[in-house]
Structure 1
């Protein structure tokens, strides 16, 4: 069912209006089943809980008092404030293909705790991305799925803006692609350092982007949050790795 809703509909029903009609029909049937008592209440609660834990369910309120309460919890999706742990990193994926190709992307994200420098912590954020689309995706998949090259991306390829956040007050020092230094766009958001690299992958291509953050003042264990995709988040976020540091 997941493959049907996230991919097959776009491949087999080229007209957007008919896609909308299909999704509306699915939503109607699901709502009817739940409101009619046919659903599994335990399963529904478990699904919503998992969705919230993976960042798929976020809540915002236009009421200032309500939002001040929501902001204290992960479900707010905030990048700063009480819901954000001190040494939190973030990796976010912004599609630049203008298509439905992200279904074929597989990614892993890992933190590497580097050796401290000048009394500060250092951490590298490693993001590996693979385009699993078939080799002939440009021809075998409809243009609605590939984007048809309308936004400057060859059909079958996937372009992604990879956005990495570091903890408050840290610096984003450098970026590499497959071990080679690469230019990146540095920004600051809510006093957090941000690095951005645009990446384009053809069918079967795989690349690893690394951002190194330095001048990290937090001495707590780092963690990372990611944009949820078709993959389970537990399969995307790998265990933190510790660099081997010699004793001085």
Structure 2
């Protein structure tokens, strides 16, 4: 073999050694990178699991009865720390390299993007929310000796606005994140998207309230005086938002100090004429509820949209020469009973007690004993017992007005040190539909419009809400005996992502036939010819489809299918004899834009 051949062979071996060395280094590098990524991924997984656990604990704390804001603030900080540590892992270069690998690389990139979005929430929304929790003093929140204290809520509106903006942006960014190859991961991202959207809505609501409550309640630097018309609804005769507004009163707030005037029968002579009602009401309202919605004060809440009820009440009050009010508040006996459970019982004066016993309230004595209302019996006395005696309708109206006034005045001066209980009671009343609020000031009402306490119709397809409402047609006080059950169940998802649900509505007349036959005519009501009824309950049922959705089908025919402010509505009159039951099932379809967001069912508040 020649020297040249030997030299070529040596050079070839050298090149192979170099190539093998490079390959070896690359293999070692890949192994090292793989190990680095594995360790980082394992660390990130642990931080994510810790963040989820901390978030669940935080949710439990928020939904708990005590509402310890210091613990909530610490919980927010803990969740934030785990998110930051997760981001510290996924932002490393090895994750970017892993994102370049075939097939699963896109999944890794998706995870990095989701963590980046959450890190932005951690840096912007969570510190603001933690500051809110540490600033608001729930022990100073409430009514003390008739004066409102916001407990620092008025100072956290900017923090809530910052948190809301961050959460809203994050939810929007998550909507652009694509699908991965792992269903479990897709589900987790979908849940995160939904939860961020919910948090954005909550902070938006809280921020709106924090920004307008100081002016609405005339507290703090805003000061001044506010006057509100208070509607006391009587659920014994159902209307969509509760019951007939049979007593109206005025609440005045001066620099946070509350003063409640007497309640009285509404000004019947100031309602609208039939001709006026045709221009005051919308075509949808006239079709569904007739012009009586504006011509009879007892029917102004035929509509489930409290913003319309409040505006009508505001205008009727003004037409009666009582001047303008800054807003309208609606309460009912169930809310009053819950307030008494917090403030303690109240003994009614001799006039009210005499009326309950069937005596004449004008004399101030009826020979009976004093009546005490408490957290257990107030609703029954106000919604049923008063109608079992021999009192006239005028006397019943006076009793209801006196009782409402005396309960409120008692509550306003017996809540010291009970701010947390009061807060929970108000929150539950709002959720159940026993408390509504409307502002005559446009800027305030705009911020109230998206808040549950406004009682406005739900018109956002992405937040599916069905409605089940009832209006009494018995013209008596029989709805104390009407048992109502409304349930909702998920059925299926259509190819376009729209979800279908089954609503089941059951009505039962629980009245005892013999007992109710002996009851006064004012309790039993009257038929269309003005003759006393025999114990039957006549109810008009309204079923509202979610915004952007529809009523698919139903087991019992509706009397009409109509629309109300763009929402599809089915209406049906149901008449039940004592002991009789009616059940109907309705399939409703939510908008595809609602995605996996669960359907909420709003309904006429119950009597318990």
Q: Shorter-chain TM-score: which interval?
A: 0.7 to 0.9
**Structure 2 residue 461 is matched with structure 1 residue 104:** no
1:151 shift after superposition: 6.0
| 1:234 equivalent in structure 2 | none
Structure 2 matches for 1:14-29, cutoff 5 A?
A: 14-29=391-406
| 1:193 equivalent in structure 2 | 568
Q: 2 CA distance for matches of 1:28 and 1:229?
A: 22
Q: 1 CA distance for matches of 2:450 and 2:469?
A: 21
| 2:580 equivalent in structure 1 | 205
Preserved CA contact (<8 Å) 1:98 1:151? no
Q: 1 CA distance for matches of 2:415 and 2:442?
A: 37
Deviations along 1:1-56, one digit per CA (max 9) or x if unpaired, are 22111101011143122223323432343344335447774444443232112111
Q: 2 CA distance for matches of 1:215 and 1:150?
A: 38
Change (3 A) 1:23 1:191: closer
Q: 2 CA distance for matches of 1:10 and 1:223?
A: 35
Computed over aligned residues only, the root mean square deviation of the Cα atoms, in angstroms, reads 2.5
1:209 shift after superposition: 1.4
Deviations along 1:91-143, one digit per CA (max 9) or x if unpaired, are 11111111111100111111122233454422221101111000225522211
Larger Rg: 2
* Aligned partner of 1:70 among 445, 448, 454: 448
Q: 1 CA distance for matches of 2:417 and 2:382?
A: 20
Q: 1 CA distance for matches of 2:477 and 2:570?
A: 25
Q: 1 CA distance for matches of 2:413 and 2:499?
A: 55
| Structure 2: runs of 5+ lacking an equivalent | 1-376
| 2:553 equivalent in structure 1 | 174
What's the secondary structure of 1:90's corresponding residue? strand
- TM-score w.r.t. the length of structure 1 is 0.80
Change (3 A) 1:102 1:68: same
| 2:314 equivalent in structure 1 | none
Change (3 A) 1:40 1:3: farther
Q: 2 CA distance for matches of 1:39 and 1:15?
A: 38
Q: 2 CA distance for matches of 1:214 and 1:70?
A: 27
| 1:246 equivalent in structure 2 | none
Deviations along 1:215-248, one digit per CA (max 9) or x if unpaired, are 74232211111110203xxxxxxxxxxxxxxxxx
Higher relative contact order (CA 8 A, sep 6+): 1
| 1:242 equivalent in structure 2 | none
| 1:34 equivalent in structure 2 | 411
Q: 1 CA distance for matches of 2:412 and 2:464?
A: 43
Q: 1 CA distance for matches of 2:501 and 2:442?
A: 36
**Structure 2 residue 398 is matched with structure 1 residue 8:** no
What's the secondary structure of 2:466's corresponding residue? strand
Change (3 A) 1:126 1:140: same
Preserved CA contact (<8 Å) 1:137 1:203? no
Bigger drift between 36-45 and 67-76 goes to 36-45
Q: 2 CA distance for matches of 1:142 and 1:4?
A: 16
Deviations along 1:166-210, one digit per CA (max 9) or x if unpaired, are 111222132223xxxx24411122322211121111100111112
Change (3 A) 1:183 1:46: closer
| 1:79 equivalent in structure 2 | 457
- TM-score w.r.t. the length of structure 2 is 0.35
* Aligned partner of 1:147 among 515, 519, 525: 525
Change (3 A) 1:44 1:184: same
1:163 shift after superposition: 0.8
Preserved CA contact (<8 Å) 2:547 2:590? no
Change (3 A) 1:149 1:65: same
Preserved CA contact (<8 Å) 1:98 1:147? yes
Preserved CA contact (<8 Å) 1:94 1:161? yes
What's the secondary structure of 2:479's corresponding residue? helix
Preserved CA contact (<8 Å) 1:129 1:207? yes
